[in-house]
């Protein structure tokens, strides 16, 4: 996160990276660092600041021009992470730094429970953001700096699964055991989005077995139907965690199943492992994800 001492170099990078009519002034950047340090991230080379990405949070799905200078609309509990700017010093471009900053912002927004990340960009930047998972909405209403801007959104969608024929039973509905497997699919996807997937865990000598799992079935799911599987981290104490699941029909939203699973962390020898001690960065991520 940005610190007060990052103001001077950040202002210099902003001035070098955008035309005067588009660049945020030093005072604007100071207010941003003070107002939302949790969504103002910097990249450094040694002790030198070489890039940053920043933006406020709002319930508005659009990004009005006024937001760049008037931060009164910033709501930390809002559902949309806005992007005010992505800046990298010219001599450090084309090295993956901008992409790394943006991916970090996306992951941070996901951890904080946001529904979307929104930005406006010029036409030549559309392929870059598309590669990162953004969807082009169209020309924006923005007249910021007298330029033509395009609106793009990164939407955090629930994990989806389309029922396969082998998953159904003689009654024509999904066999109850498959919901447990869907829980695992969604959980695997969730951990991957957090950047701490099972593959990485195993390479680091950590395993996370299932301690218990339960499901409550509400309505039948049938062949070729698609379901959304939403989950939340209900409990985490550094050694154990509990995940809760909600399975609903993708088209109608009808609830099909709810459930939960509990897990722990073990080392290669099968002994309980505290992430707080062994992987403090992972511990911070999971702690931030626990449902409030």
Is 70 catalytic? The answer is no
- Reading across the β-sheet that carries 226-236, which strands appear in turn? 159-162, 226-236, 240-249, 255-264, 210-217
- Regarding pTM above 0.75, the answer is yes
Same domain, 85 and 106: yes
Same domain, 104 and 48: yes
Same domain, 42 and 185: no
Same domain, 140 and 231: no
Same domain, 28 and 62: yes
Q: What's the structural domain count of the chain?
A: 2
Q: Give me the residue label for tokens 């990004």.
A: 63
Same domain, 179 and 137: no
Same domain, 149 and 212: no
Domain that holds residue 124: 4-155
Residue where a domain terminates, one of 110, 136, 155: 155
Residue where a domain terminates, one of 155, 181, 216: 155
Q: Give me the residue label for tokens 């498959």.
A: 178
Same domain, 143 and 30: yes
Which of 169, 189, 228, 249 is the catalytic position? Answer: 169
Tens of pLDDT, residues 209-250: 999 999 999 999 999 999 999 999 999 999 999 999 999 999
Residue where a domain terminates, one of 139, 155, 171: 155
Tens of pLDDT, residues 27-78: 999 999 999 999 999 999 999 999 999 999 999 888 999 999 999 999 999 9
């Amino acid at each position: 996160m940005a610190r007060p001492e990052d103001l001077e170099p950040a202002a210099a990078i902003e001035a070098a990276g955008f035309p005067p009519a588009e660049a945020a002034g030093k005072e604007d950047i100071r207010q941003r660092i003070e107002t939302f340090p949790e969504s103002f991230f910097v990249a450094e080379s040694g002790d030198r600041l070489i890039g940053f990405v920043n933006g406020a949070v709002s319930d508005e799905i659009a990004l009005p021009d006024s937001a760049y200078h008037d931060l009164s609309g910033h709501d930390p509990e809002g559902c949309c992470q806005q992007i005010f700017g992505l800046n990298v010093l010219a001599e450090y471009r084309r090295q993956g730094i901008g992409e790394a900053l943006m991916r970090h912002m996306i992951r941070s927004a996901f951890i904080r429970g946001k529904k979307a990340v929104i930005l406006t960009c010029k036409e030549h930047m559309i392929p870059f953001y598309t590669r990162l998972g953004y969807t082009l909405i169209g020309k924006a209403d923005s007249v910021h700096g007298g330029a033509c801007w395009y609106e793009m959104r990164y939407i955090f969608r629930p994990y989806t699964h389309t029922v396969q024929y082998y998953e159904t039973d003689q009654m024509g509905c999904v066999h109850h055991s498959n919901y447990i497997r869907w829980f695992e699919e969604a959980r695997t996807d969730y951990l991957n989005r957090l950047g701490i997937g099972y593959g990485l865990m195993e390479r680091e000598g950590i395993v996370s077995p299932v301690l218990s799992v339960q499901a409550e079935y509400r309505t039948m799911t049938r062949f070729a139907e698609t379901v959304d599987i939403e989950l939340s981290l209900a409990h985490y104490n550094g050694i154990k965690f509990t995940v809760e699941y909600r399975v609903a029909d993708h088209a109608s939203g009808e609830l099909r199943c709810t459930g939960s699973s509990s897990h722990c962390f073990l080392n290669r020898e099968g002994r309980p492992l505290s992430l707080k001690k062994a992987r403090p960065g992972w511990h911070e991520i999971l702690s931030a994800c626990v449902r409030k």
